[in-house]
């Protein structure tokens, strides 16, 4: 029976020591001064190559880098980690505080506490269990030196192509949750989130099937309204649902999520019905005018 | 002879009253909770939102532990919550009171741990708990009645339970205290901040956050609020501007629903009733921290005027929908789409539900587009305008009314098309066309039929 406690203890110690190792590496005397991107990379390729390769795999650094070292860490070494730990660093590129990706977090309980206590928070502390009251963007997505943010992100679709990655991503995310929450709570919350998201995917597929049916009869021009509705269903509502689940915002799961998807779905159905009716109406009009 | 007029009704009453009571208690005895408890089963996560009904202890650890033992083990297992507790009043009690340990609220026996319900918190915080329970007398909407209202909602019962988990997360404000006093700090100062409310009070039907932050009060809070002393009680003179809790929980009273005249905004009320006159005076007294009585009375009258305009628009839209319903022109009509949720009468005698009194709140899915237009007008545009008026954010009043105008024109145009098509079909074929199989089929629609 004590296995479970031991398991917790060992795993917590393991995470703690991994994090401390990272921190020790960072804390080594490093030269001060203004740095440019190339200098960071040249040096870090030697002392922490994984950071650089992870970043190059990640969407931030892949192909044409959209966010480099100094964008998140600044140009001064002593502030490098302090800057990157704070949400403002992320939101400056991710659409600001009102974009759904940030707003779904800032309205969650984590986000609320983070906002209220941000002035009292000691951002120089490493992301170690017990150091922060709530997680912010970087705590979950980048702690432990993770520079490939996609690693811990569950994809919206859970089909054959994504399910293996999704399982690993959720597993990786559990480590952060465990700093405060019990294992059953985390497991059940994730399980429910998966099911809630899958129901969103069901609604999307139902809408997609209607579009497929409509395609057999109608031209893309006639289907403009229907296609627009479907795009909004996917890009706004299913995305909100996904963000609501990931960032624990009941409002995004619900009012921006499921009932919003319901609305789009029934309007897509209504659009097919309307096209069918207008077509039949036109036909009867033609028949009646030719017979007159 | 005459006595039978007494004893027969008496006998009927004697049978009906216990039968009714038995039926209600039976209806609440199923696997779910609430009036439709026989219709659904909870998802495992719902034990955390409605602990009294669904929480069961984890069985992995054996033994009884003292408070210090809980702390010393959890320091390693879940250090975040221990660190939180260490900074809480429970760990640093004032006036030489004893510490409140994990075991004080969760129990000692690890095989039979419980999640604290309001009753457990009320064991010490009697005043707040009594006030919280007393809120029930103000009816719905109120925090104290939130859970029963959620689980008795027909769409909640009808939809797959993992889809509607978010409902319980917010409505759990009735079943546990940490919605506002988050665990394990349980700070009154935190609950006084406007942000403490926004996890639930945000989004299209209740933009309380956005309307407050846009108001003059909210703008000053955003600018300076971080520097105010939030340890002060919510009493006159302690805060520069009012916040959510300052107005709705003045002097820290936990009857949050005590004063709103227009309540949720989803039905029309008589703002001049004697009860509402008392509320009006309470508001004026509250605003008198800074504002003159006449000024405050004018603001309240402005809100009444705004509500009157809103309801004129809403009733106009409702009348259009009801006339389409009378002429069987809604498309698809009830009966041509999945039935109104959890309503056996609706399966036998299908009928569209239009307006608050007919159950508009559950008519947001499996309805025709024009009905959904009205739902959004009523639930989103109308409530946005109302919250704008109540919280002093004129831009939201304008936006809400513009939205209602737009929805009304759309409903009028759509009604015209429905009438034209329906009447022409009736003339040609003797009946209105069928809306198509796709209203009753499809992956989610069929899944929902089987899963609730």
CA distances from B192 to A76, B162, B231 (A): 38, 32, 9
Decide: residue B275, CB within 10 A, 0-12 exposed, 13-18 middle, 19+ buried.
exposed
Q: How many CB pairs under 8 A join A and B?
A: 185
Position A8 scores a pLDDT of: 53
Instruction: Report how far residue B57's alpha carbon sits from residue A50's, in angstroms, rounded to the nearest whole number.
Output: 42
Give B358 to chain A, closest Cα distance, Å.
19
Q: Is B195 on the interface with A (CB under 8 A)?
A: yes
Q: Is B418 on the interface with A (CB under 8 A)?
A: no
Residue A27 has pLDDT above 80, yes or no: no
Confidence of residue A288 (pLDDT cuts 50, 70, 90): low
Closest of A266, A267, A133 to residue B182, by C-alpha: A133
Residue A4 has pLDDT above 80, yes or no: no
Tell me which chain B residue has its CA closest to the CA of residue A98: B210
Q: Which of B203, B224, B362 to mutate to test the interface with A (most CBs of A within 10 A)?
A: B203
Instruction: Report how far residue B353's alpha carbon sits from residue B239's, in angstroms, rounded to the nearest whole number.
Output: 46
What pLDDT, in 10s, does the model give residues B17-60? 999 999 999 999 999 999 999 999 999 999 999 999 999 999 88
And the tokens for B320? Answer: 């259009």
Give B216 to chain A, closest Cα distance, Å.
20
ipTM of the complex: 0.95
Instruction: Report how far residue B219's alpha carbon sits from residue B225's, in angstroms, rounded to the nearest whole number.
Output: 9
What pLDDT, in 10s, does the model give residues A225-269? 999 999 999 999 999 999 999 999 999 999 999 999 999 999 999
Q: Extract the residue ranges of chain B whose pLDDT is less than 70.
A: 1
Residue A15 has pLDDT above 90, yes or no: no
Chain B residues in contact with A270 by the CB 8 A cut-off are 368-369
Under an 8 A CB cutoff, do A273 and B196 touch?
no
Dihedral angle computed from the Cα positions of residues B154, B159, B162 and B165, in that order, rounded to the nearest 10 degrees: -30
Under an 8 A CB cutoff, do B44 and A191 touch?
yes
- Please say whether the beta carbons of B392 and B287 come within 8 A: no
Residue A286 has pLDDT above 90, yes or no: no
Residue with tokens 């969407």: A59
Instruction: Quickly list H helices, B59-174.
Output: 67-77, 79-86, 102-106, 118-122, 126-134, 146-151, 154-158, 165-171
Q: Which of A13, A113, A211 to mutate to test the interface with B (most CBs of B within 10 A)?
A: A113
Position A21 scores a pLDDT of: 46
Instruction: Report how far residue A213's alpha carbon sits from residue A216's, in angstroms, rounded to the nearest whole number.
Output: 6
- Domains of chain B in sequence order: 39-94+117-202 (1.10.780.10), 293-441 (1.20.850.10)
Under an 8 A CB cutoff, do A281 and B445 touch?
no
Tell me which chain A residue has its CA closest to the CA of residue B199: A107
Dihedral angle computed from the Cα positions of residues B345, B351, B357 and B359, in that order, rounded to the nearest 10 degrees: 70
Residue A108 has pLDDT above 80, yes or no: yes
Long-range contacts of A60-63 (CB under 8 A, 24+ apart): A60/A147, A60/A149, A61/A147
**B386-416 CB burial, b ≥16 within 10 A, e <16:** bbbbbbbbeebbebbbebbeebbebbeebbe
Interior CA angle at A31 toward A26 and A37, to 5°? 80
Tell me which chain B residue has its CA closest to the CA of residue A271: B369
Instruction: Report how far residue A231's alpha carbon sits from residue A274's, in angstroms, rounded to the nearest whole number.
Output: 19
What pLDDT, in 10s, does the model give residues A38-54? 999 999 999 999 999 99
Residue B64, strand partner residues: B109
What's the distance, Cα to Cα, between the start and end of chain B in Å? 54
For B170, the closest of A1, A4, A250 (CB atoms) is A250
Read off the pLDDT of each residue in A64-92 and give the average, rounded to a whole number: 92
Closest of A149, A195, A112 to residue B195, by C-alpha: A112
Chain B 141-180, residues with CB within 8 Å of chain A CB atoms: 159-160, 162-167, 169-170
Position B4 scores a pLDDT of: 87
Instruction: Quickly list H helices, B327-437.
Output: 344-348, 369-376, 382-391, 394-429
Position A140 scores a pLDDT of: 97
Tally of CB atoms within 10 A around A284: 15
Closest of B355, B171, B180 to residue A254, by C-alpha: B171
Position A283 scores a pLDDT of: 83
- Please say whether the beta carbons of B180 and B197 come within 8 A: yes
Q: Is B44 on the interface with A (CB under 8 A)?
A: yes
Position B54 scores a pLDDT of: 96
Position B95 scores a pLDDT of: 81
Instruction: Report how far residue B77's alpha carbon sits from residue A182's, in angstroms, rounded to the nearest whole number.
Output: 9
Under an 8 A CB cutoff, do B76 and A8 touch?
yes
For B58, the closest of A113, A184, A195 (CB atoms) is A184
For B73, the closest of A5, A184, A266 (CB atoms) is A5
Residue A23 has pLDDT above 80, yes or no: no
Q: Which of B56, B71, B163, B413 to mutate to test the interface with A (most CBs of A within 10 A)?
A: B163
Position A69 scores a pLDDT of: 93
What pLDDT, in 10s, does the model give residues A194-210? 999 999 999 999 999 99
Chain B residues in contact with A125 by the CB 8 A cut-off are none
Confidence of residue A24 (pLDDT cuts 50, 70, 90): very low
Read off the pLDDT of each residue in A259-280 and give the average, rounded to a whole number: 97
Residue A289 has pLDDT above 90, yes or no: no
Under an 8 A CB cutoff, do B166 and A116 touch?
no
Tally of CB atoms within 10 A around B26: 11
For B365, the closest of A244, A266, A274 (CB atoms) is A266
Read off the pLDDT of each residue in A104-113 and give the average, rounded to a whole number: 97
And the tokens for B109? Answer: 């026996």
Q: Is B62 on the interface with A (CB under 8 A)?
A: yes
Position B343 scores a pLDDT of: 86
Give me the percent of chain A exceeding a pLDDT of 70.
87
């Amino acid at each position: 029976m004590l296995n479970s406690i031991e398991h917790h203890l060992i795993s917590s110690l393991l995470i703690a020591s991994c994090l401390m190792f990272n921190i020790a590496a960072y804390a080594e005397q490093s030269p001060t001064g203004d740095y440019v991107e190339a200098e960071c990379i040249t040096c870090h390729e030697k002392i922490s190559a994984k950071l650089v390769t992870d970043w190059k795999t990640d969407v931030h650094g892949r192909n044409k880098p959209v966010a480099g070292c100094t964008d998140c860490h600044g140009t001064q070494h002593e502030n490098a980690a302090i800057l990157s730990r704070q949400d403002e660093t992320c939101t400056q590129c991710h659409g600001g505080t009102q974009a759904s990706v940030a707003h779904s977090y800032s309205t969650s309980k984590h986000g609320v506490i983070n906002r209220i206590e941000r002035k009292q928070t000691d951002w120089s502390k490493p992301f170690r269990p017990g150091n922060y009251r709530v997680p912010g963007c970087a705590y979950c997505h980048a702690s432990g030196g993770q520079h490939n943010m996609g690693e811990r992100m569950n994809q919206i679709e859970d089909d054959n192509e994504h399910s293996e990655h999704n399982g690993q991503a959720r597993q990786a995310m559990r480590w952060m949750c465990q700093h405060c929450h019990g294992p059953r709570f985390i497991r059940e919350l994730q399980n429910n989130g998966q099911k809630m998201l899958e129901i969103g995917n069901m609604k999307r597929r139902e809408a997609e099937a209607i579009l497929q049916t409509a395609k057999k009869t109608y031209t893309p021009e006639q289907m403009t309204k229907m296609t627009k509705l479907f795009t909004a269903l996917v890009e706004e509502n299913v995305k909100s649902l996904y963000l609501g689940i990931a960032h624990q915002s009941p409002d995004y799961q619900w009012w921006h999520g499921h009932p919003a998807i319901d609305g789009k779905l029934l309007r897509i159905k209504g659009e097919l019905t309307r096209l069918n009716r207008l077509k039949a109406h036109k036909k009867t009009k033609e028949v009646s005018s030719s017979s007159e | 002879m005459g006595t039978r007029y007494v004893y027969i009704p008496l006998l009927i009453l004697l049978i009906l009253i216990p039968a009714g009571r038995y039926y209600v208690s039976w209806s609440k005895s199923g696997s779910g909770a609430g009036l439709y408890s026989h219709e659904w089963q909870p998802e495992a996560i719902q034990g955390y939102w409605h602990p009294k009904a669904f929480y069961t202890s984890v069985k992995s650890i054996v033994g009884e532990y003292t408070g210090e033992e809980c702390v010393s083990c959890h320091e390693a297992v879940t250090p975040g919550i221990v660190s939180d507790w260490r900074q809480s009043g429970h760990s640093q009690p004032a006036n030489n009171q004893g510490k409140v340990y994990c075991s004080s609220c969760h129990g000692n026996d690890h095989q039979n741990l419980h999640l604290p319900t309001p009753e457990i918190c009320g064991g010490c915080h009697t005043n707040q708990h009594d006030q919280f329970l007393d809120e029930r007398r103000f009816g719905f909407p109120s925090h104290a009645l939130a859970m029963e209202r959620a689980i008795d909602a027909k769409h909640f019962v009808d939809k797959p339970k993992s889809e509607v988990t978010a409902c319980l997360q917010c409505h759990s404000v009735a079943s546990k205290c940490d919605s506002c006093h988050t665990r394990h700090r349980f700070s009154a100062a935190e609950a006084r901040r406007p942000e403490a409310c926004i996890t639930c009070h945000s989004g299209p039907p209740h933009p309380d956050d956005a309307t407050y932050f846009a108001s003059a009060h909210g703008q000053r809070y955003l600018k300076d609020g971080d520097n105010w002393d939030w340890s002060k009680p919510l009493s006159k003179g302690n805060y520069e501007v009012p916040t959510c809790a300052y107005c709705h929980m003045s002097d820290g009273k936990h009857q949050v629903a005590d004063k709103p005249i227009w309540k949720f905004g989803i039905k029309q009320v008589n703002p001049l009733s004697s009860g509402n006159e008392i509320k009006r005076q309470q508001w004026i007294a509250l605003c008198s921290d800074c504002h003159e009585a006449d000024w405050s009375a004018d603001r309240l009258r402005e809100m009444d005027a705004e509500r009157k305009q809103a309801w004129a628009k809403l009733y106009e839209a409702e009348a259009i929908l009801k006339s389409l319903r009378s002429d069987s022109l809604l498309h698809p009509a009830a009966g041509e789409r999945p039935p109104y949720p959890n309503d056996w009468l609706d399966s036998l005698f299908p009928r569209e539900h239009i307006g608050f009194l007919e159950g508009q709140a559950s008519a947001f899915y499996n309805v025709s587009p024009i009905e959904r237009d009205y739902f959004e007008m009523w639930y989103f545009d109308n409530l946005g305008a109302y919250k704008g008026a109540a919280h002093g954010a004129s831009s939201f009043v304008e936006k809400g009314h513009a939205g209602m105008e737009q929805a009304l024109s759309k409903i009028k145009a759509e009604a015209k098309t429905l009438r034209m098509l329906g009447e022409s079909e009736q003339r040609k074929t003797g009946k209105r066309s069928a809306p198509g199989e796709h209203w009753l089929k499809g992956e989610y629609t069929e899944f929902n039929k089987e899963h609730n």
